[in-house]
Amino acid sequence: MPKQTVFIKNKLGLHARAASQIVNLANKYTSEITIQKGDVTANGKSLLGILTLDAPLGSELLVDVNGSDAQELLTKLIELIEDKFGEKN
């Protein structure tokens, strides 16, 4: 069950388009994914759940993935976040 802490680096934070990129990626895999910010935990395959995290620039998130393709999903998700969801700012 791989876990990793990651920081939101894009200027607009974890907004709707960024959250939808996470959901689209997560739904390509069979593994379950949870994303936690402080005391709030969200299903990584739920757009509404991710938006409830209210994660602006600099937020610390704990990503926890469980399943047969967990490591690959975690790697791709971290790449997406580190790439600032493809945003230039």
Nearest 5°: the CA angle 56, 11, 21 is: 75
Q: Kindly name the residue from 2, 4, 15, 62 that is annotated as catalytic.
A: 15
Q: Which residues pair with 5 in a beta bridge?
A: 62
Phi-psi region at 88: left, alpha or beta (left = phi > 0; alpha = psi -120 to 50): alpha
Q: What is the DSSP letter of 28?
A: T
In what side-by-side order are the strands of the sheet with 60-66?
Answer: 3-7, 60-66, 32-37, 40-43
Known catalytic residue at 6:
no
Annotated catalytic residues are: 15
